[in-house]
Amino acid sequence: MPTTTSQERRRVRSDVPREAVRHYLEALARQRGMRALVLAREDGEWVGVGEAGLDLGRLAAAGRACARGEEDGVEVEEMCEGHDLYAHAWTSDAGTFTLTSLGVRVARVRDVVSTVERIGARGR
């Protein structure tokens, strides 16, 4: 029997890699009850989903800074409104990326990285 993730992938698809990644992040965020989930490149470009009123660009920047150990604790705390921020960084042939979640950590990060890289490879 297919899992929720595979069922959602079949229903919501895109041939545009950026949109496909956004759909994938949206499904992950919904499944885990995250307030926001953002994938950012080192150059500042990002794609993400989140609750209304959240500044996803600012969240992406905070995640990149946290992953490098450079975050401003006061600013991050203010932005997160008491919710935990989780950041995972990795480098691949396509560049350096940071996956930032707000409220709940991303489970099975390696699987997420593999899926994001597979989606991105379609666009190259």
All structural domains of the chain with their residue ranges: 4-122
Q: Which stretches in the chain have pLDDT values below 70?
A: 1-12, 71-75, 122-124
pLDDT of residue 122: 67
Whole-number Å distance between alpha carbons of 24 and 4: 12
Q: Report DSSP state, residue 10.
A: H
Going by C-alpha positions, the residue among 102, 4, 101, 32 that lies closest to residue 12 is 4
